[in-house]
Amino acid sequence: MIPTPLITAAEGYPALERLCAEAQGTLYLSFRILDPRTRLHAPQLTERGLDSWADLIAWVTRRGVRLRLLLADFDPVFASDLHRQAWANASGFADVVQGDAQILVAPHGQEAGRLWHLAMLARLRRSLSGLRKEDPTRLTPVQRALLATRPRLRPATLHQKFATADGRRAVIGGLDVDPRRFDTPAHDRPPEETWHDVSVAVQDDDFVGALDGHFAECWNAALACGAASLADPARPLDTRVKPQARADLRLLRTFSVPCTGAGRLAPTPRLTEHETALLRLFGEAQDYLYIETQFLRHAPLVDTLCDAAARSAALQLIVMLPLAPERVLFDGHDGWDARHAHGLQTAALTRLRAAYGTRLALVTPGQRRPAPEGAPQIAGAGPVYVHSKVVIADDLTAVVGSANLNGRSMRWDTEASVLVKDRGFARGLLERLARTWLGEAGGDPRRATTWTGAASDNAALPPEARHGLVLPYPVARAERFSRRLFALPDDMF
């Protein structure tokens, strides 16, 4: 069965809810964020009186479905808010589940070496002092323990987002689950609540078997590094049998393991299937490459894209990016780390512009209404935040999942995606995304000039008069924000 693309949470959330509700034996969930307070959108579930994800998971476990829920944990010092949210979300589910239900709050096992602790000593002391001043009841068990011993800096995380049911069905992509991330293809919510993302529903025993095997390895790795267990005591999963997905419906993984050393920051990559597959895909493309990504920063991928431009004089490259990273755009973060990360991307875009010339379309989406006063804006409109991770090549192959085109997703963090080699799927996904962004502008979405022309036309019109949502990516604005530093490895960003 050909997989089904799910555009935005308006399609992704109901499909994910139905997958969970229809599970009969086992339900595996691995998410960066899964908030039990998120309301349900599938009508057949709300008509049953189920209102939230907490209600859904409680109902599923009451029916005897075996639940394994893997939620990403975050550094308890430098990402305190995300860390507390992960614990609150896990606790919210643990309070309502019944039967055979195991829940892990899972950090990545990598710890920064002692030299990095010394290098960040001043910042560490400030953060720890802030934690000590807080009401202890607001701290997580991890935070209370580190105040009594020493902090462990966690530079990597579990970034993947997928669910499987009964070893036969899956939903996989870039979409986390919380109230803010719900959006529709119209993208007419407040700018800070727009959230373009893409997932895929897959019904295939081979692929889902491989994804279940990956989940088991992630689960066991989390237990090995002391992941906190809520609900039932967590037990290892069997990894002796490792199913393989088909060549035309492949699972792509990034999986790294801890590496010790006083000066060590990065984990050791064990599986770099995203990087390997994308390098090959970029190297073999002949007609066009369409990319949606939150970040485009990984030098080896950019090298291969530039080589491809020289190899094939007809190759078109369409790149859809958000206006700026989420924490810069909506949280006002302008620290050195954000500027350095943006500097990596700006350098990559400069190289791609030189390599492709008019064969490159570099675009970003904006709403078809003026930006609210005081809100971020692009050409007078509120931005649409691009969180999707999509690559389509030559109407033949598509990759959709959790991995951005940065070093962190290629080599550090835990990631999972699906590679679909099917002309109908690839062509259909491109056409659906083109309708979302171009509206009725017309033209061939495989040609860069279609996108640059539509973006330029829209930029000359007031937001409410535009065709579609596509606008030129503001290169000069990105260059002004960018600052390069060289103290940290590029793969961290």
Q: What pLDDT, on the 0 to 100 scale, is given for residue 280?
A: 98
Q: What pLDDT, on the 0 to 100 scale, is given for residue 440?
A: 84
Q: Select the more confidently predicted residue: 487 or 270.
A: 270
Residues 335 and 429 in one domain: yes
Task: State the average pLDDT over residues 118-126.
Answer: 86
Q: Does the global pTM surpass 0.85?
A: yes
What confidence tens digit (pLDDT) does each residue in 434-465 have? 999 999 878 999 999 999 999 999 999 999 99
Q: Is residue 239 part of a domain?
A: no
Query: What CATH number does residue 182 fall under?
Result: 3.30.870.10
> Rg (Cα) of the chain, in Å, rounded?
22
Q: Is residue 238 part of a domain?
A: no
Say if residue 488's pLDDT is above 80. no
What are the φ/ψ torsions at residue 152 (nearest 5 degrees)?
Answer: -120, 110
DSSP reduced 3-state for 316: strand
Q: Which of 418, 409, 416, 408 is nearest to 491 (CA)?
A: 408
Q: What's the rounded Cα separation, in Å, for the pair 251 and 232?
A: 30
Residues 255 and 225 in one domain: no
Of the candidates 205, 231, 257, which is a domain's last residue? 231
Task: State the average pLDDT over residues 267-278.
Answer: 97
Q: Is residue 19 part of a domain?
A: yes
What confidence tens digit (pLDDT) does each residue in 219-247 have? 999 999 999 889 889 999 998 888 888 89
Pick the most confident of 73-87, 121-135, 381-395, 479-493.
381-395
Q: Select the more confidently predicted residue: 130 or 405.
A: 405
Q: What pLDDT, on the 0 to 100 scale, is given for residue 319?
A: 98
CB 245 within 8 A of CB 472: no
Q: Is residue 175 part of a domain?
A: yes
Residues 133 and 64 in one domain: yes
Residues 279 and 381 in one domain: yes
Bridge-based pairing state of the strands 66-72 and 101-106: parallel
Say if residue 71's pLDDT is above 90. yes
- ∠ CA 489-490-493, nearest 5°, is 110
Q: What is the largest CA-CA distance in the chain?
A: 63
Q: What pLDDT, on the 0 to 100 scale, is given for residue 441?
A: 79
Q: What's the rounded Cα separation, in Å, for the pair 300 and 414?
A: 19
Domain range for 335 = 249-492
Helices (H), 95-243: 114-119, 121-133, 141-148, 205-224
Task: State the average pLDDT over residues 288-308.
Answer: 98
Q: What's the rounded Cα separation, in Å, for the pair 322 and 341?
A: 14
The token duo for 14 is 């109901």
Residues 280 and 365 in one domain: yes
Task: State the average pLDDT over residues 92-105.
Answer: 96
CB atoms under 10 Å from CB of 374, counted, come to: 6
Edge-to-edge order in the sheet of strand 161-165: 4-7, 198-203, 169-173, 161-165, 26-31, 66-72, 101-106, 228-231
Q: Is residue 10 part of a domain?
A: yes
Residues 111 and 258 in one domain: no
Q: Which of 170, 253, 248, 163 is nearest to 205 (CA)?
A: 170
Q: What's the rounded Cα separation, in Å, for the pair 274 and 254?
A: 6
Say if residue 147's pLDDT is above 90. no
The token duo for 258 is 């801890």
Q: What pLDDT, on the 0 to 100 scale, is given for residue 442?
A: 83
Q: Is residue 236 part of a domain?
A: no
pLDDT band at 218 (very low <50, low <70, confident <90, very high): very high
Q: Is residue 241 part of a domain?
A: no
Task: Please name the amino acid found at residue 41.
Answer: H
Q: What pLDDT, on the 0 to 100 scale, is given for residue 116?
A: 87
Of the candidates 199, 231, 263, which is a domain's last residue? 231
Q: What's the rounded Cα separation, in Å, for the pair 487 and 467?
A: 44
Neighbour-count burial of 243, counting CB atoms closer than 10 A to its CB (0-12 exposed, 13-18 middle, 19+ buried): middle
What confidence tens digit (pLDDT) does each residue in 350-359 have? 999 999 999 9
351 Cβ contact list (under 8 Å, min separation 6): 302, 306
Residues 296 and 207 in one domain: no
Task: State the average pLDDT over residues 371-396.
Answer: 95
Task: State the average pLDDT over residues 54-68.
Answer: 98
Of the candidates 196, 231, 266, which is a domain's last residue? 231
pLDDT band at 427 (very low <50, low <70, confident <90, very high): very high
Q: What pLDDT, on the 0 to 100 scale, is given for residue 240?
A: 85
Residues 130 and 159 in one domain: yes
Torsion on CA atoms 333, 337, 339, 342, rounded to nearest 10: -110
Residues 280 and 408 in one domain: yes
Say if residue 334's pLDDT is above 90. no
Q: What's the rounded Cα separation, in Å, for the pair 346 and 476?
A: 9
What confidence tens digit (pLDDT) does each residue in 1-31 have? 889 999 999 999 999 999 999 999 999 999 9
The token duo for 448 is 């860069």
Say if residue 104's pLDDT is above 90. yes
Residues 334 and 280 in one domain: yes
Q: What's the rounded Cα separation, in Å, for the pair 201 and 2?
A: 9
Q: What pLDDT, on the 0 to 100 scale, is given for residue 241?
A: 80
Q: What pLDDT, on the 0 to 100 scale, is given for residue 219?
A: 98
Lowest pLDDT segment from 106-115, 237-246, 271-280: 237-246
Say if residue 419's pLDDT is above 90. yes
Distance of CA 214 to the CA centre of its chain: 17
The token duo for 168 is 């036969």
The token duo for 346 is 């700006």
Q: What pLDDT, on the 0 to 100 scale, is given for residue 338?
A: 86
CB atoms under 10 Å from CB of 485, counted, come to: 11
pLDDT band at 65 (very low <50, low <70, confident <90, very high): very high
What are the φ/ψ torsions at residue 411 (nearest 5 degrees)?
Answer: -135, -20
The token duo for 211 is 């994804």
> How is the chain split among helix, strand and coil, in percent rounded to 5?
40, 25, 35
Number of compact structural domains in the chain:
2
Q: What pLDDT, on the 0 to 100 scale, is given for residue 60?
A: 98
| Averaged pLDDT of the chain | 94
Residues 224 and 259 in one domain: no
Say if residue 486's pLDDT is above 80. no
pLDDT band at 396 (very low <50, low <70, confident <90, very high): very high
Q: Is residue 244 part of a domain?
A: no
Say if residue 122's pLDDT is above 90. no
Share of the chain above pLDDT 90, in %: 78
Task: State the average pLDDT over residues 195-217.
Answer: 97
Residues 285 and 318 in one domain: yes
Give me the sign of the Cα torsion angle 340, 341, 343, 348: positive
The token duo for 459 is 């930029």
Helices (H) and strands (E) in the chain, counts: 16, 18
Element (H, E) at 430: helix 423-438
Torsion on CA atoms 186, 190, 191, 196, rounded to nearest 10: -40
